[in-house]
Amino acid sequence: MRRGRTQVIVAKRTGFKSGRAAAPYNAWMTYRGRFAPSPTGQLHFGSLVAALASWLCARHAGGRWLLRMEDIDPPREVPDSARGILDALPAFGLVADEPALFQSHRLDAYEAAFEQLRERDQVFPCWCSRADLAAAGGMHRDGRCVAAPDPSRAPAWRLRVPDVEVGFVDGLQGPQRQNLRESAGDFVIRRVEGFYAYQLACVVDDAWQGVTQVVRGNDLLDSTPRQLWLQRCLGLASPTYLHLPLAVDAQGRKLSKSENAHPVDPRDPLPALRRALRFLELPCGMEANHPEALLSQALAHFDPTRLPHCSERLAC
């Protein structure tokens, strides 16, 4: 029998609690936003929209805009795409206020966070295959590995997830609530290959960089309750969240997965930048002849509460 359900509502950002993964920043800092792409290809339209919106939110708040390269999944990385993305952004007028943070340089921090969880018995090794979990709908629950330990191979490590409801108010998508046990189960934070999972690395680095608001695509809305719970487990503050409409093609496919997802051209940035501004329902300044002028005009009209309140939009 499961224990009674715990309800957790995360309504606003709070100060950093003690914890080894906490950031070296004052809790009541100015706005700090970030753009955190993965180097799985060159900058495409959907990523440009996320970068632009996060830059606008930071500049509107009088804060700082940061870059982070989420390069901790080598099998998925495309050679030279990290450098290509970082080189392309300034051509669109999107210049970070600090040097880019590479997650591949942060493995010690993820290891420290993992050890913190292991010392508290909040993680467990798991040898389950997809076939083992098929009977449970592919999900692992209740902190017990279905498969027997196999000393001949390395396990994955999962976070123990209780029967808990996590709620938060998204800046665009509104109130959200998810039962973490039913929707995510005991999720992986370190993979069989030894790579740290996105969820763990993301929360550790958002805390380290002092991020106060996460602005990103709606495809990551479902990940947010897991990240909020991990922040709680690690004693970290929670930023606020704003999930943008997902850019889709005429068939409703996420643009990054569409055959029409060609990289944007940093050699001729104005057409793609105007298209991204139209997507966000902002003035696209046909008289502007360089990205800085276009961004200045957009910023003068920008109000994050007036961004499109929908889950996806056609990228036209």
pLDDT tens-digit profile of 113-123? 999 999 999 99
CA 8 to chain centre: 21
What is the pLDDT, as a whole number, of residue 13?
A: 42
Q: What is the pLDDT of residues 256-265, one digit of tens each?
A: 654 456 789 9
- With a cut of 50, say whether residue 15 has pLDDT above it: no
Task: Quote the Cα angle for 72-234-132, to 5°.
Answer: 60
DSSP state of 256: G
The pairing of strands 164-170 and 213-217 is unpaired
Burial class of 11 by CB neighbour count within 10 A (0 to 12, 13 to 18, 19+): exposed
Q: What is the pLDDT of residues 243-283, one digit of tens each?
A: 999 998 888 888 765 445 678 999 999 999 999 999 999 98
d(CA 311, CA 44): 19
Predicted model pTM: 0.90
What is the pLDDT, as a whole number, of residue 20?
A: 41
What is the pLDDT, as a whole number, of residue 255?
A: 73
Domains of the chain: residue spans and CATH: 6-314 (3.40.50.620)
Q: What is the pLDDT of residues 56-89, one digit of tens each?
A: 999 999 999 999 999 999 999 999 999 999 999 9
**Closest to 299 (Cα-Cα) out of 9, 87, 34, 55:** 55
Question: Given strand 123-126, what is the order of strands in its sheet?
Answer: 123-126, 156-159, 188-190
Q: What is the pLDDT of residues 175-231, one digit of tens each?
A: 999 999 999 999 999 999 999 999 999 999 999 999 999 999 999 999 999 999 999
Average pLDDT, the chain: 89
Query: How many CA atoms are closer than 13 Å to the CA of 30, on its beta-carbon side?
Result: 10
Q: What is the pLDDT of residues 93-145, one digit of tens each?
A: 999 999 999 999 999 999 999 999 999 999 999 998 888 888 767 788 888 88
